[in-house]
Amino acid sequence: MTGVIPSPNDPGRPDGQGGAHAGEDRRHMIRRRALTLLIIVLLIGVPAGYLVISANQSRASGKDKEAKYSATGLTEGWPSKLQRRIYQVPVPHPAWWVASYETNNWKTSRLYVEFETSDVGLTAFLTSMGMSEKDLKKDHLPIGERDRNVTGWTFDGPGTWSGLVHKQKNPAPTHDVVVNHDKPGYPRVYVVARTVP
pLDDT digits (tens, 9 = 90+) for 84-139: 999 999 999 999 999 999 998 888 999 999 999 999 999 999 999 999 999 999 99
Q: Smallest Cα–Cα separation from 180: which of 127, 143, 130?
A: 143
- For residue 6, what is the DSSP state? P
How many Å apart are CA 191 and CA 173, to the nearest integer?
A: 12
Q: What percent of the chain has pLDDT over 90?
A: 52
> DSSP strand E in the chain: where?
75-76, 95-104, 109-117, 137-138, 161-166, 174-180, 188-195
Of 22-26, 33-37, 85-89, the range with the highest mean pLDDT is 85-89
Pick the range with the lowest mean pLDDT from 50-54, 110-114, 122-126, 172-176: 50-54
Whether the pTM exceeds 0.95: the reply is no
* Average pLDDT value over all residues in the chain: 82
Note whether 131 and 148 are within 8 A (CB): no
